[in-house]
Amino acid sequence: MKKMMLIGESGVGKTTMIQVLSGESFTSRKTMAVEFCGQFIDTPGEFIENRRFYPALITTSADCDVVAMLQDATRISSLFPPLFSSIFTRRVVGVVTKVDVDGGNVERAERFLKNAGAREIIRSSSITGAGLDILKEMLQ
Ligand SMILES: Nc1nc2c(ncn2[C@@H]2O[C@H](COP(=O)(O)OP(=O)(O)O)[C@@H](O)[C@H]2O)c(=O)[nH]1
Ligand SMILES: [Mg+2]
């Protein structure tokens, strides 16, 4: 079974997505440390918000097959630096989250992810389940 590390700012939907994908209720408190949840690695939003944590992300990514960069469709900004994906030696996918929200802007989120170096982009919602099958397939 392959492993996926989810990265993205606080509130983007990392923990919720892991719960829906794995069908297990791993704790949904604000994550303060890297957490190993079966096939998934949940990371604190702080790790993307402060570049002094980038080395921790790189080290943790060594344990996984896929790095998922999550961008919230409702946010008007992104904390991913240009070509951020290039710091990883793993397959990196961009994931737009919360595409179910009216007033979100999926295209804007995709632009942020492309700017961050994502070549594959998946549109997802943990509420409707959109895009989650594609993510599951990546982990087969
Ligand atoms: N509408 C909508 N809300 C979501 C979705 N995914 C997560 N949320 C909500 O966004 C908030 C933050 O989610 P959480 O998983 O804790 O984010 P994390 O900080 O990245 O782990 C919670 O209130 C979730 O219920 C989604 O796909 N659609
Ligand atoms: Mg979380």
117 pLDDT more than 70 = yes
C-alpha–C-alpha distance, residues 137 and 31, integer Å: 26
DSSP string for residues in 24-51 = S----SPP-S-EEETTEEE--THHHH-G
Q: State the CATH class of domain 4-138.
A: alpha beta
Summarize pLDDT for 31-51 with one digit per residue, the tens: 678 999 999 999 999 999 999
69 lines ligand 1 (CB under 6 A): no
- Least confident range of 29-33, 61-65, 68-72, 129-133: 29-33
73 lines ligand 1 (CB under 6 A): no
Domain ranges of the chain: 4-138
State the maximum Cα–Cα separation within the chain, in Å, rounded to a whole number: 37
Ligand nearest to the CA of residue 72, numbered in listed order = 1
Number of neighbouring beta carbons within 10 Å of residue 32: 9
Summarize pLDDT for 86-96 with one digit per residue, the tens: 999 999 999 99
| Residue 5 DSSP code | E
Alpha helix ranges (H) inside the chain = 14-22, 46-49, 54-61, 106-115, 132-138
Tell me how far the alpha carbon of residue 98 lies from the centroid of ligand 2, in angstroms. 15
Q: Name the pLDDT band for 116 (thresholds 50, 70, 90).
A: very high
Work out the average pLDDT over 50-59: 94
Q: What is the pLDDT of residue 32?
A: 73
Going edge to edge, which strands form the sheet with 40-42? Answer: 35-37, 40-42, 4-7, 66-72, 91-97, 120-123
29 pLDDT more than 90 = no
